[in-house]
Amino acid sequence: MSVNVIDTANILASQLRQTDEYRQYIALRQTAYEDPTNKTLLDEFKRLQFRLQAQTASGQQPAGDDMQKLMRISSLLQLNSDAQAYMLAELRFQRLIADIYKIIGDAAGIDIEALTQA
């Protein structure tokens, strides 16, 4: 094979770390996580978010208590400018990753949108 896909993936990873989206994400994450309350809330938010996404992906109905707790934590985080800025930066970086994943999926003949629909 003339093109080593793993080498290309490593180049892509290096280039991702040089994007404005990644740099802002890292800088704002550091700022947000300096505050112990933010750290606790952000960690709990991410844990709940992951659990609810996994339940949804496996066809389970997410627990109402977890959904309410996630909403309460989200409301608290929106009140803190550092946490809010970090979460928005994370979303922008995730969109960049999703765009890349779509390009790779298209090249492999995988319908990404069909996989994400419940």
Tens digit of pLDDT per residue, the chain (118 long)? 457 989 999 999 999 999 999 999 999 999 999 999 999 999 999 999 999 988 888 888 887 898 999 999 999 999 999 999 999 999 999 999 999 999 999 988 887 766 555 4
Please report, for the chain, the start and end positions of each structural domain, with discontinuous segments joined by +.
1-35+85-113, 41-79
Rounded to the nearest angstrom, the gap between the alpha carbon of residue 75 and the centroid of all alpha carbons in its chain is 18
Residue type, 17: R
Alpha-carbon torsion angle 72, 76, 82, 84, nearest 10: 50
The 8 Å CB, 24+ separation contacts for 74-78 are: 74/45, 76/41, 77/38, 77/41, 77/42, 77/45
**What is the pLDDT at residue 32?**
97
Report if pTM > 0.95: no
**Coil, helix or strand for 3?**
coil
